[in-house]
Structure 1
Amino acid sequence: MDVHRAAIMNYMDCNVDEMDTKNRKVQHCEDRVDSGVDSLKEDEYRKIVEEMESLTLPNPSANPKGMCEPWTQVTEDGDTYLHLAIIHEAEDYAIQIIKQCQNDPFLNRQNNQRQTALHLAVITEQPHMVDRLLKAGCDPRLVDQSGNTALHIACKRGSLACFSVLTQIQTQHLRSILTFPNYSGHTCLHIAAIHNYLSMVESLVQLGADVNAKEQCSGRTSLHLAVDLQNLELVHLLIALGADVNSLTYGGYTPYHLTFGRQNSEIQRQLFNRTAQELRAMPESESEESDEEVSSDDDCMYDDIQFCGR
């Protein structure tokens, strides 16, 4: 059966906004999540609905293997009927498919952007669907093409409802998910800190996230990121949660060092008082050399070398 889907937009990948290393500001890129309904012609959308309605659920006893075969057709974007039902928020159809495919690998099928139905349920803000998918056997550890789990996406979008469901169901995987860095090197805690979702930051640490985890690009912790963002409230929260003010980036910088040249003197004062005295001075650049280390031309002359006995 052919699935007709015209001009349904590709979903924006959920990369965490990169920190501008020069200006140390978050670069915000617009997050567009469109169900695609408005981009479909009315007759084309109706045809999709009719095709889904024409499907009959198989009798499990008559077909114990391959129970989800009727739903395996995919669009050119790699979306299955389940993906489409969630994208279009067709809850009744999605529930029928989920019920028929309990603990079936089909539930973890990924589209061309490696998004599972669980990713799409979070993107479209459907916490009830997130709940059903997890209870039906969806794997919350799967990542999309940007390395984001469904929890990474919930932290980026500030979706407290989806966050709550994802952290209360299938908790046997939660500890490992909290340590996962996405392909930008950020854990869920880094993402929540960057986007200033303070309640999520606190909840993640209480759930077991390492408050001193370093992002993999330059070794900054969430406290370093809070200083980058000049977010005094976040700095206070992270310190209260046990953030190490003496943690060093890969370049040897403490959070206090990142306050130099910044406008918020209160952040600088708070960190100065807490930073170890021996770590307050800025680390010297490896390119700096003292005059004593530079040899003169005279030092390079060897008068005792003899050629041919002379």
Structure 2
Amino acid sequence: MASDGCSKDELLEENRTDSGIESYRSIVKSEEPRDDLPADRGKFSITGTEERLDSAYGSSSITVESLSEIVKECTLSDEAVEEPTLTSELSEQENLLRTITDEGDTLLHLAIIHEETSFAQELIQLFPKEVLDIQNNLYQSPLHLATYLNLAAVVRGLMEKGASLELQDQDGNTALHVACQHGQTDCATEMTRDLPPSELVPVLETQNWRGLACLHLAALNRQHQIMKLLMKKEADLNVQEGTSGKTALHLAVELRDITSVKLLLSRGANVDAAMFNGCTPLHLAVGRQDAPIANLLCQSGADTMLRNMEDETALDLADGNDDILALFPFDDIQISGRSVVSVRY
């Protein structure tokens, strides 16, 4: 089923040498408790058992402690105008700026992982676009990491500098997929704000390795605000996921999410869209004995006579449920399998 395997715990492979967000999971265990940490930082579970040393290529190395020293040395001061500028300070550490750790993280990746927002913003302004799009060993770009951590200001800075929205991580997810899955509405808004349709539509149609587009992930995770945002950006409401051909409406029906069903139908989703096996949303609703959603689909004009590859209509799946049967016409007279007289019970 398309909804399987979409939980946060399955985002990254177990016991794999980590980078990006996984680096954060392991190294945070070695940090002393801090009162200034965001309250929700714990939402990323700590799975590592040893402190990670981010060893860079060459003579430089970056650790949890040294990153804070780098930030302290490189960050612009508002008070001391006589201090060297960020550019001149960093020019003395050119080898550090070119550093990539064994896990593929740049200094920008690490600044984002540690939620050093101001420092990350300065690096974004300094680095060329090519550096902003470097992917680590898990194929995560800085934009992926900023989205995972819901750093909307960093996302905005990356987008303004031209960071690519098309890059896919090891699960095939773009940063917009990540926002749709985790409900990062502010990040999704920043990513889609100024992109012309010619650039945004291909991203909206991109499927991850499970065959899911952004709208599918938003529907699967009941992210109604993001669904509205995607609809406003002209996402294809009838795009089929790659494994069984379900549309977002099929997924909403399976979840018994009547809010999503109403939203999709009100925006013009195809009520009779067929999966690869021919099942329509009405087949799924009736098969689940879900009378309220079946009624909503019928009121929206669902064709009760459509047959799936098993040659079954939705009525065939009613299984004697009176509430379901009451939704269907009494087919006393038929021509070519279709009712001429439609008298409801």
* In 2: Cα distance, 1:173 partner to 1:69 partner: 35
Q: Are 1:120 and 2:120 counterparts?
A: no
Determine which structure has greater relative contact order: mean sequence separation of CA pairs < 8 Å that are 6+ residues apart, divided by chain length: 1
TM-score, normalised relative to structure 2? 0.67
How many pairs were matched up?
259
Task: Note the C-alpha offset of 1:269.
Answer: 2.0
Deviations 1:99-152 (A, max 9, x none): 211x43111100000000011111111100011111122111111111111111
Contact 1:147–1:181 (Cα < 8 Å) also in 2: yes
Give the unaligned 5+ runs of structure 2: 12-20, 33-50, 52-62, 75-83, 313-345
Contact 1:125–1:162 (Cα < 8 Å) also in 2: yes
Which residue does the alignment assign to 2:3?
Answer: 19
Q: Give the alignment of 1:201-220 within 5 angstroms.
A: 201-220=227-246
Task: Note the C-alpha offset of 1:282.
Answer: 4.8
* In 2: Cα distance, 1:247 partner to 1:120 partner: 35
Task: Note the C-alpha offset of 1:201.
Answer: 1.2
Which residue does the alignment assign to 2:68?
Answer: 49
Contact 2:139–2:170 (Cα < 8 Å) also in 1: yes
Q: 4+ residue runs of structure 1 moved beyond 3 angstroms?
A: 26-37, 41-44, 51-60, 67-70, 169-172
Task: Note the C-alpha offset of 1:79.
Answer: 0.8
Candidates 14, 30, 39, aligned match of 1:40: 30
Contact 1:114–1:145 (Cα < 8 Å) also in 2: yes
Which residue does the alignment assign to 1:95?
Answer: 121
Q: Are 1:186 and 2:212 counterparts?
A: yes
Classify 1:106/1:27 alpha carbon distance in 2 versus 1 (closer, same or farther; 3 Å). Answer: closer
What letter matches 2:107 in structure 1? Y
Contact 1:71–1:81 (Cα < 8 Å) also in 2: yes
Classify 1:68/1:141 alpha carbon distance in 2 versus 1 (closer, same or farther; 3 Å). Answer: farther
* In 2: Cα distance, 1:152 partner to 1:68 partner: 34
Give the unaligned 5+ runs of structure 1: 1-16, 21-25, 287-310
Q: Are 1:146 and 2:171 counterparts?
A: yes
RMSD: 3.0
What letter matches 1:278 in structure 2? M
Task: Note the C-alpha offset of 1:243.
Answer: 1.0
TM-score, normalised relative to structure 1? 0.74
Contact 1:123–1:153 (Cα < 8 Å) also in 2: yes
What letter matches 2:186 in structure 1? A
What letter matches 1:229 in structure 2? L
Task: Note the C-alpha offset of 1:187.
Answer: 0.9
Larger CA Rg, structure 1 vs 2: 1
* In 1: Cα distance, 2:249 partner to 2:292 partner: 15
Q: Give the alignment of 1:62-141 within 5 angstroms.
A: 70-101=96-127, 103-141=128-166
